[in-house]
Amino acid sequence: MKAGASLETKYINLKEKIDNEKIKEASQDILNGKLVLFPTETVYGIGANALDEKACENIFKAKGRAQDNPLIVHVSNLEMIKQIVEEPNELEKKLIKAFCPGPFTIILKAKDIIPRSVTAGLDTVGIRMPSNEIAHKLIEYANVPIAAPSANISGRPSGTNIDDIINEFNGKVASIIDAGAVDIGVESTVVRVINEKVRILRPGKITKEDIENLGVEVEVDKNILGKYDGKEKVMSPGMKYRHYAPNTKCMMIYSKDEEKMIDKIKETANGKNVLIICKDKNYDKYNCKNIIKMGNTLEEIAHNIFSILRKVDKYNVDLVIIEGMQKDGLGLALNNRLLRACEYNYIEI
Ligand code: AMP
Ligand code: MG
C-alpha cells in the first residue's frame, strides 16, 4: 500500500457488540502489511505489524509523523515482550507486573528484531499491553506485536472516537474498527527506569502517585510542564513537537481558589470574542455566548478534552479560555496536554 493513496477502507462497527470474526479479518490486514485503526482504552491507535519495516514506514506517511519520533509497540502477553526486548531488570519487572495490561508504556532495550522505522534509530522501544478487549484480541489473533501511535494527523489532538478522525484516515488504512468513545481519553503514561528511579516521560492515567505506591522513587521529566527549550536532547522525542493545539489561540487560567479563577477568566474575556471551556458546575457563572462544558472530575475531563479541542476552531473566536486544574493525579496528564494545546499561554494566580 502507498500511504496517502486512496484505498478501499473497511469500516467495522463494533459499537454495540464485539464480533471476533471481524477482529480476525482485521488481524489478517495486519499480517498482510496493512494499517488498521483500532480502539484501545486510552485513545485510538493506527497499527501495523511491528516486525514489518515497510508497514511501519506507512504509519509515518499516513500520520505525517516526524521520522525521529518512535512508535510504541503493543503486545498481548509476556512472551511477546521477551521476543522484542532484552531481559528487564527487577524494577522494570515490578512495573510490568503492576501496570500491564493497562494504560502504561515502559521504555526497554530493543532487540534487533524490531525494525528501525519503529525505534526511529534509538536502541530502546516503548512497550505497552493494552487492556481493551478489541486491542487485545487484534494482537492475539495476529500473533505479532503491533506498532501503533495515536490515530491523528501529527500535531492534531489524539482521536478518542471515530467520528473525529475518520476523515483523516479514510482511504489510508485497510480497516477502521469503531468501538465508540474510548474509556480514558488521554494517551498512556510513558516511563523509563534510569539509575533505579522511574522517570515519567509522559503522564497519563497511571499516575506518579500510583507508581510511588509501589515503594519506588519517581521523577517527572522537566519537559512535562515546561516548554522544551530546544537545547538539550530530550528523553522522549515526542516532547519536542507542536501537539494538540487548535488554530485558534488558546490560554489556560487557573487558581486553587475557584472563585478567583472564574473572576480572572471573566475579566480576561470581557469585551472579547471568546470561547470558554469550563467545568459543568461553573457553566452558569459565565455569561458568555460561546461556552463548552468539559465535565467535572479529572476523569470526565480526560474523556472529553481531545474531542472538545477538535471543535474549537469551528467557533470563529479570537481566543479560547480554558479553566485550569490541579496538577496531581490525572491532573498532571491534563495539564501536560492542555499546556501544549495553549502553547504554554498559562496564567496561575
Ligand atoms: P503516540 O504513540 O503518538 O501517543 O506517541 C508515543 C510517545 O512515546 C511519543 O512521545 C514518543 O516520543 C514516545 N516514545 C516512543 N518510543 C520511545 C522510546 N523508545 N524512547 C522514548 N520515548 C519513546
Ligand atoms: Mg500521539
CA angle 282, 286, 290 (to 5 degrees): 105
By the 8 A CB rule, do 166 and 58 touch?
Answer: no
Only one residue has cell 470581557, namely 270
Based on its alpha-carbon atoms, the radius of gyration of the chain, rounded to whole angstroms, reads 20
User: Which atom number of ligand 1 is nearest to the Cα of residue 188?
Assistant: 4
pLDDT in tens, 74-110: 999 999 999 999 999 999 999 999 999 999 999 999 9
Pocket of ligand 1 (CB under 6 A): 69-70, 72, 107, 119, 122, 124-126, 149-150, 187, 190, 201-202, 236-238
8 Å CB contact between 219 and 134? no
Cα of 93 from ligand 2 centre, angstroms: 26
Q: Which residues surround ligand 2, an ion (CB under 5 A)?
A: 150
Q: Name the pairing type of β-strands 218-220 and 36-38.
A: unpaired
Q: What pLDDT score was predicted for residue 241?
A: 79
Place of cell 516532547: 239
Query: 158 alpha carbon to ligand 2 midpoint, in Å?
Result: 6
CA-closest candidate to residue 50, choices 80, 20, 77: 80
- At residue 238 the predicted structure's pLDDT band, cuts being 50, 70 and 90, is confident
Q: Is the pLDDT of residue 1 over 50?
A: no
Residue 136 has pLDDT above 90, yes or no: yes
Q: What is the mean pLDDT of residues 325-337?
A: 97
Compute, in angstroms, the gap from residue 339 CA to the centroid of ligand 2. Answer: 15
Q: Summarize pLDDT for 46-69 with one digit per residue, the tens.
A: 999 999 999 999 999 999 999 999
Choose which CATH entry (1.20.150.20, 2.40.50.220, 2.40.50.140, 3.90.870.10) describes domain 10-178: 3.90.870.10
Tell me the CATH class for 250-348: alpha beta
So what's the pLDDT on residue 116? 94
**Model's pTM, two decimal places?**
0.96
Confidence grade of residue 2 (pLDDT, cut at 50, 70, 90): very low
pLDDT digits (tens, 9 = 90+) for 158-192: 999 999 999 999 999 999 999 999 999 999 999 99
Cα of 314 to ligand 1 centre, how many Å? 30
The strand pair at 175-178 and 36-38 is best described as: parallel
pLDDT band with cut points at 50, 70 and 90 for residue 5: low
Q: Which residues contact 56 (CB under 8 A, 6 or more apart)?
A: 48, 49, 50, 71, 115, 117, 118, 147
| SS3 sequence of 178-192 | ECCCCCCCCCCEEEE
Closest by CA position to 10, among listed 218, 172, 158, 236:
172
Q: Which of 190, 202, 233, 243 to mutate to test the pocket of ligand 1 (most atoms within 8 A of CB)?
A: 190
Distance 140 CA to ligand 1 centre (A): 23
C-alpha cell at 12: 467495522
Fold match between 10-178 and 250-348?
no
Residue 345 — pLDDT band, cuts 50, 70, 90?
Answer: very high
Residue 216 has pLDDT above 90, yes or no: yes
- pLDDT band with cut points at 50, 70 and 90 for residue 236: confident
Domain-wise residue ranges, the chain:
10-178, 250-348
Where does the pLDDT of residue 244 fall: very low under 50, low under 70, confident under 90, or very high at 90 and above? confident
Mean of the per-residue pLDDT values of the chain: 95
